[in-house]
């Protein structure tokens, strides 16, 4: 039997994860009191139930009941019930933005700010995050990429100890991404912004990419970038890193940074690395 405990920060994508897990054939229960987990597992194992894949969402919404989680996990170990813990995380900046967009109230910020609620929640969940089997950071991944990541782990059976590479294009005038591990400035490349017919397009358009890459130093930079990233990836894996964010910036985040991000993404996919791409400031 496959048994997964889903937890993590409020706003990090637990609800979306549950929908995907249901699509993958998991029987999902949201916000079950942790003290009931061993009894529920005992029922599933020794009854005539045909349920063979279960996912439970356990988080700080359980209030005082949440403190029972580690006792329940210990009971399950003694009962020799196997389980995995999936922890969903995201940067404070993105979590705050998501709460504001949905106009939701953070469960730990009834009288305080969203930021204070997130800080309290991180403290309460720190021990659980430390023992998580898999951690997915949803800061820079879209819903489709989250589904792909979940499928990779829970359908294909691959663990996140193989590095997940997130490539993020951005505009320097909107600020450097806070969660970036590597930042590359490509403002020295030819700028389509000043070319009639290209200004309103983006690096997603082939004609823009061709213009940016037509210069000799564009090709040389791209080769050296590929070489550097190829050198770093095995070293990150040796260090046990499970995710790296590569941020590539130009002035507005619409043309040059998107072009180089696209080429790097294609290169990494060709090399069979697990990679995702997002364009923060393209609009």
CATH of the domain at 31: 3.40.50.300
Same domain for 69 and 139, yes or no, is yes
Q: Is residue 80 part of a domain?
A: yes
C-alpha dihedral (266, 269, 273, 276), degrees to nearest 10: 70
Containing H/E element for 144? Answer: helix 143-154
Q: Is residue 63 part of a domain?
A: yes
Same domain for 11 and 145, yes or no, is yes
- Taking the C-alpha atoms of residue 258 and residue 170, their distance in angstroms, rounded to an integer, is 8
pLDDT band at 45 (very low <50, low <70, confident <90, very high): confident
What the block records as the tokens of 146 is 């989250």
What the block records as the tokens of 182 is 């590597």
Last residue of a domain, one of 95, 122, 154: 154
Same domain for 139 and 20, yes or no, is yes
pLDDT of residue 200: 93
- Determine contact, residues 27/10, Cβ cutoff 8 Å: no
What the block records as the tokens of 164 is 């997940």
Same domain for 150 and 171, yes or no, is no
pTM of the model: 0.64
Q: What is the mean pLDDT of the chain?
A: 88
What the block records as the tokens of 57 is 């969402």
Last residue of a domain, one of 154, 178, 211: 154
User: How many independent structural domains does the chain possess?
Assistant: 2
pLDDT of 42 over the 70 cut: yes
Same domain for 12 and 131, yes or no, is yes
Last residue of a domain, one of 154, 179, 203: 154
pLDDT of residue 160: 47
Range of the domain at 135: 2-154
- Taking the C-alpha atoms of residue 195 and residue 46, their distance in angstroms, rounded to an integer, is 70
- Taking the C-alpha atoms of residue 35 and residue 55, their distance in angstroms, rounded to an integer, is 16
Residues 75-101, mean pLDDT to the nearest whole number: 87
Same domain for 208 and 169, yes or no, is yes
């Amino acid at each position: 039997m496959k048994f997964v405990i889903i937890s993590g920060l409020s706003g990090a994508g637990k609800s979306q994860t549950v929908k995907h897990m249901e699509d993958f054939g998991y029987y999902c229960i949201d916000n079950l009191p942790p003290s009931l987990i061993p009894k529920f597992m005992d029922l599933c194992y020794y009854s005539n139930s045909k349920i063979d894949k279960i996912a439970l969402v356990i988080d700080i919404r359980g209030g005082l009941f949440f403190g029972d989680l580690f006792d329940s996990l210990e009971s399950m170990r003694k009962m020799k019930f196997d389980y995995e813990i999936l922890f969903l995380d995201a940067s404070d900046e993105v979590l705050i933005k998501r709460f504001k967009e949905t106009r939701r109230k953070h469960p730990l910020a009834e009288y305080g700010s969203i930021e204070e609620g997130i800080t309290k929640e991180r403290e309460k969940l720190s021990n659980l995050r430390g023992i998580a089997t898999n951690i997915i950071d949803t800061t820079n991944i879209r819903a489709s990429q989250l589904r792909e990541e979940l499928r990779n782990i829970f359908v294909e059976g691959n663990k996140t100890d193989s590095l997940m590479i997130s490539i993020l294009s951005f505009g320097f005038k909107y600020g450097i991404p806070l969660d970036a591990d590597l930042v590359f400035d490509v403002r020295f490349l030819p700028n389509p912004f000043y070319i009639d017919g290209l200004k309103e397009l983006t690096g997603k358009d082939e004609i823009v990419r061709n213009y940016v890459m037509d210069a000799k130093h564009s090709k040389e930079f791209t080769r050296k970038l590929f070489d550097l990233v190829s050198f770093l990836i095995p070293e990150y894996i040796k260090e046990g890193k499970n995710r790296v964010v590569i941020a590539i910036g130009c002035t507005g985040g619409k043309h040059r940074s998107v072009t180089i991000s696209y080429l790097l993404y294609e290169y990494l996919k060709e090399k069979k690395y697990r990679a995702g791409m997002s364009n923060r400031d393209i609009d």
